[in-house]
Each structure stands twice: as structure tokens, then as C-alpha cells.
Chain A
Amino acid sequence: MTDQTIRVLIAKPGLDGHDRGAKVVARALRDAGMEVIYTGIRQTPEMIAEAALQEDVDVIGLSILSGAHMELFPRVINALKEREIGPDDVLLFAGGIIPDDDIPRLKQMGFQAVFGPGTSTEDVIKFVREWAGARAIGTA
């Protein structure tokens, strides 16, 4: 019996240690039937890309509250590219404190969605499921 499950990496790049949001999202996605790999705080872009490679995840969610996203996110994208992981291979989304002005540039980089404070976890789940459904990944 083929048993496909959506695998998600939730990671926190940079130096801020506020991981409540990341944990809430991780738990919500788990409760929605996904396998969620949480790597902990203070991850370098290299560590995140390496975890994504080894775990062969379908989805990567980055959480950041430090304001360094325009600095760190492109480095994550590059580290992924170095490992042959492109925007067609994984669903990338971001969450945290991200000014609206930055969102168009993040989307250009390959982020499919940016979730700010007050986002319902239901919206995140729905977003991931729709993407996975379109690619026939997972039964959730």
C-alpha cells in the first residue's frame, strides 16, 4: 500500500529566539495529518537547506521575527539551489513580522505565501493542502 504523507520543514533562520509562532504552526500542521520536522531556533541558511535535503520535504515554512528576512531568505533560497532544490520542488512559505512592502519581492524569490500575525492556522493548513492536492501529494 502506497502511503504518501506531506512532509514539512518548519525552520527559524537567524538569531531571534521567539519560536512560539513556529511551534503553533508545526503543531497545527501535525494535527492536520502532516509529518512536521522542526529544527529549533537559530538556524543558518545552510542548516535549513541541508535539513530540507536530507528530509526530502515537500514544504518549507520559515518563521522570522528579527526583521532580517530580506537578508536571510535569499541566502536560504541560494543554499537550496546549491542542493538542486528549486521552487518547483518545494512549497516555500514564510511567517512572522514581515512588512507588506517586502511581500512582492519575497514572492518573486519563490515564496508562495507570507503569513503575518493573526493568521489562522486553518488558513495555513488549507494553503498547504491545496498546493499538495494539485500535485497529488499526501492523502490529508
Chain B
Amino acid sequence: MSPDVEALVERLLAGNRRALARILTQIENDAPAGRRALSLLYPRSGRAHTVGLTGSAGSGKSTLVAALARVLRARGRTLGIVAIDPTSPFSQGALLGDRIRMQELTADREVFLRSMATRGNLGGLAPATAGIVTALDAFGKDVVIVETVGAGQDEVEVAAMADTTVVVLTPGSGDDVQAMKAGIMEIADVLVVNKSDLPNADLLARQLRSIVEAARSGRPTPIVRTASALGEGIEALADALEEHRAYIEQPDVRAAHRRAQARHQVLALARQRLIDRVVTVHSGDGRLDDLVAQVADRRLDPQAAADALITE
């Protein structure tokens, strides 16, 4: 069942899309073959411009990604797109529907679109998203766009992974207040007012501008108005992305940026593996159930139980 990883990686690097797709599956499943593939691909990655796109559900992210993809393709860029949708906490299943809005991209061989389910992860990404991006990058895509689950808050993870983070807001949906909450404003490298043909778009743009100006430290965050279903403002968005890319590629910015990304990725994986190990070991020996029962009966507090789990 396990494919010959080295051969598959060779085929991926030679541009075979079926090999790429199969490796993405192995990475997503966190299978040994996927880990091996990643260790071979990682040194070949780091050339793509990775763009994270986040925003609340219904803000038009998928339509925006499709419109942006068209513009970037017209500029000659090859594209990887990772579209993430939530896994149901009840069935562990998922309905991945982002391709519906990106139908016409399917005819273009230079666009590779992969749908992912969150598989229990919080923070808008799936556990294996960073690895999927690495593989698309090593495959040779110029730009890799990651569209997060539509949560709109607490999505710092995407910013830690992407070179450029785009936060999509819409008029009249309480987003001006949301925008002021810590988090989203700090992670945005580019702010988008989407559905800007709706009433109150001017108001939202003005409010965002005053927040950006008040925050003034370092590079002022550009605000781009788009109406992606109408195809408006997309060229300006593509310009803003490329300007941000040029900014982080400056020698003094680049090193710090790369290091922060690497640090986050290493720690995220270490955290995941530690928790996996604890769960595996103590599910096996019954210790986890035992501690959980004690906490449920108020005989032990959760802090002490957690300490016991990781020290035993």
C-alpha cells in the first residue's frame, strides 16, 4: 500500500501532478511516507510567495480567491491553492465545497487546487496545511494561496505560516468592531473591504483607515476595496500582495521574517507530537481515563491532572 516515496518525490519534482496529489494525501494523513516526503521536499521549498487569506464566513473568500487567481494567472504566475473547510466534530466528516466557486480554474493546468478539512484543528488551518504548502512550493508554484476556514478571529496561525496575510472584511456585518479586537488587525498585511458595492463600504474603509493610522508602527497596512463577484479591485489586491512580497524580501526584513516562520512551525509540530505521544501512551495504559474520572468527580483539579499526564 505504501508507495515508493523517493520515486514519487522524483516524479513530483519533475512536474508530475498525480505524484504531487498522492504526496499531498500522505502528508495530510501524517503517514510515514508523508513525513519522509516532506524531509526531501523541504530543502527544495522557500521560493513561492505564500499568501494566507482569512475572514469571517460569508465574507466572500472563495469568490475572491477565484478572482485573484485569474488576475495572477494573467500576470503569468503559476498557482497552488489550499482551500480549508471545517470537519464536523460529530461525524469527523466534511463537505468541501470551495471548488464550486473556483470551477473555471479547473481547466488551467497551472493551477493546482486542493481542498482540506480541518480534521479537528482550531485556528482556521488543518494540522498538515504547512506541509501541503511546502509540497506545492517545492513543486514550483509561484504563489500558494491558503484560504482558511471562515472564522474571522483567532487565526494567528495563518499569519505565522504565510508570507502575506490578507484579512477580508465586509460592510455592515459588525466587522468594524471585530476589526478593532486584538488579533485580526495585527496579523493583517493587507486589509480587504470585499463586497464594496454594498452600502456602508465607505464607512468601513474609513474606520479601518483610522485604525491603521492610529496603530502606526512600521509599514502601514494597505486597505483594498474589492467586489470580487464583479471582478472589481482585484488588480489592486494583486498589486498590494506583490508590494508586500517586495517589502519582506528586503534583506533586513527577510531574515527575521523567515526565522519567525520557522520558529512557529517547529513549535507547532513539537506541540502536536507531544500531545499525540501523551494521548497514545496514556490511552493505552488507562491513565488518561483514570485522571479524567478523578477530575470529573472533583477529586483532582485539571491542573494537577495535566501535570500528572505529562510528567509520568
Contact = CB atoms under 8 A, between A and B. Distances in A.
Interface of A: 1-5, 7, 26-27, 29-40, 43, 46-47, 50-51, 53-56, 83-85, 135-136, 140
Contacts of B106: 39, 46-47, 50-51, 54
Interface stretch (B21-29, B200-208, B213-221, B239-247): B21-29
Contacts of A7: 25
B31 interface: yes
B99 A40 contact: yes
Interface string B70-101: 00000000000000000110011111110110
Contacts of A136: 1
B229 to A, nearest CB: 16
A29 B117 CA distance: 14
B95 A27 contact: yes
6 contacts: A1-B276, A27-B95, A29-B93, A30-B95, A36-B94, A84-B18
A81 B92 CA distance: 31
Given A4-B29, A47-B107, A54-B21, A35 B99 contact: no
Contacts of A47: 103, 106-107
A85 B22 CA distance: 11
B258 interface: no
Contacts of B100: 38-40
B18 A53 contact: yes
B53 to A, nearest CB: 19
B93 A36 contact: yes
B112 A34 contact: no
B21 A56 contact: yes
Given A1-B30, A1-B276, A54 B112 contact: yes
B280 interface: yes
B93 A40 contact: no
Interface in B251-308: 276, 280
A35 B93 contact: yes
